[in-house]
C-alpha cells in the first residue's frame, strides 16, 4: 500500500513511449489565442491583465538591461502555473514533480544569469564571492562558502519546486484514502476528514501558484545581481 502512494509520480508510458512530452505540451493548447478584434473577450482580457501585472512586479527591481527577459519569465510563470494546476485534477500526471525536469529548467537559466554577469561585469560578479570588510584570515574560507552557495542555487530551485508539489500530492492522497476507509466505519470522522481534504486542496491550489511565482522570482533576483 505504501508503494502505491508513489505510483502517481511515475512518468506514464503508452506502448513503451513516455507521455511526459504530451503532458508538457498540453498547457500550450489550453491558452487562449490572441484575437485581432478591437475588443477581446473576458478570458483574454483577464489573461492580459494578469500578464501585465506580473511583468510589472517582476521587472521593478531589474535594470533596463534585464527587461529583455520579460517574455521568458512570463512564459515560464504561466507554463509552471498551468502544469501545477493541471496536476491537481484526478487521473493526471504532474511533470513538475520530476526533479529531472525542474533541474532541466533551473540549471540552464541560472547558468545564463551567471554567464551574463561574467561577461558584462566580471569584477562585480566575482565581488559577490567576497563581502566587503572581510578579515584577511577568513577570505579563503568565505570564498569557498560563497562559491558553494552559488552552485547550490539551481539545486535549491529544483528541489524546492519538486518537494513542495510532491508533499502536497502525498498529503492529498493519504487524507483521501483515510476518508474513504473511515466512511463505513465512522461516518462523522470521515466527513471531518473530507472537510480537511477540501481545505488542503484549496491550500495546494495556492501552493501550486506560489511555487511557480517563487521559482521565477528567484531567477529574476539572480539576474538582478548580474545585470
Q: Please write the tens of the pLDDT for every residue from 57-110.
A: 888 878 887 888 888 998 899 899 999 998 888 888 888 888 888 999 999 999
Mean predicted confidence (pLDDT) in 121-130:
80
Tell me: pLDDT of 121 over 60: yes
Contact 123, 195 (CB under 8 A): no
Contact 47, 208 (CB under 8 A): no
Residue 7: what pLDDT?
66
Residue 123: what pLDDT?
83
Tell me: pLDDT of 2 over 60: no
**Phi, psi (rounded to 5 degrees) for 17:** -100, 120
Tell me: pLDDT of 16 over 80: no
Residue 192: what pLDDT?
92
Tell me: pLDDT of 187 over 50: yes
- Please name which of 124, 89, 115 lies closest in space to residue 8, comparing C-alpha atoms: 89
pLDDT per position as a tens digit, 188-199 = 998 999 999 999
Tell me: pLDDT of 48 over 50: yes
Residue 4: what pLDDT?
67
Mean predicted confidence (pLDDT) in 162-186:
89
Q: Which residue has the higher pLDDT, 203 or 122?
A: 203
Tell me: pLDDT of 42 over 60: yes
Reported as type and span, the H/E element at residue 18 is strand 17-18
Tell me: pLDDT of 139 over 90: no
Residues 6+ away with beta carbon under 8 Å from 121 = 226
Tell me: pLDDT of 216 over 90: yes
Distance CA 168, CA 211 (A): 12
Residue 1: what pLDDT?
45
Mean predicted confidence (pLDDT) in 101-125:
90
Amino acid at each position: 500500500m505504501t508503494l502505491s502512494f508513489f505510483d502517481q509520480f511515475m512518468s506514464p508510458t503508452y506502448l513503451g513511449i513516455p507521455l511526459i512530452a504530451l503532458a508538457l505540451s498540453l498547457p500550450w493548447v489550453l491558452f487562449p489565442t490572441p484575437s485581432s478584434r478591437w475588443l477581446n473577450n473576458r478570458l483574454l482580457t483577464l489573461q492580459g491583465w494578469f500578464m501585465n501585472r506580473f511583468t510589472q512586479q517582476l521587472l521593478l527591481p531589474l535594470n533596463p538591461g534585464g527587461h529583455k527577459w520579460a517574455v521568458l519569465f512570463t512564459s515560464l510563470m504561466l507554463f509552471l502555473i498551468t502544469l501545477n494546476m493541471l496536476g491537481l485534477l484526478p487521473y493526471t500526471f504532474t511533470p513538475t514533480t520530476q526533479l529531472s525536469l525542474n533541474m532541466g529548467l533551473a540549471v540552464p537559466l541560472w547558468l545564463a544569469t551567471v554567464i551574463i554577469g561574467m561577461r558584462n561585469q566580471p569584477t562585480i560578479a566575482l565581488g559577490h564571492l567576497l563581502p566587503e570588510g572581510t578579515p584577511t584570515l577568513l577570505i579563503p574560507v568565505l570564498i569557498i562558502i560563497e562559491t558553494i552557495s552559488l552552485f547550490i542555487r539551481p539545486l535549491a530551485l529544483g528541489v524546492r519546486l519538486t518537494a513542495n508539489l510532491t508533499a502536497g500530492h502525498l498529503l492529498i492522497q493519504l487524507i483521501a484514502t483515510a476518508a474513504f476507509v473511515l466512511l463505513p466505519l465512522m461516518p462523522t470522522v470521515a466527513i471531518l476528514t473530507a472537510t480537511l481534504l477540501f481545505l488542503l486542496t484549496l491550500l495546494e491550489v495556492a501552493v501550486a501558484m506560489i511555487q511557480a511565482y517563487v521559482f521565477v522570482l528567484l531567477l529574476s533576483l539572480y539576474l538582478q545581481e548580474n545585470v
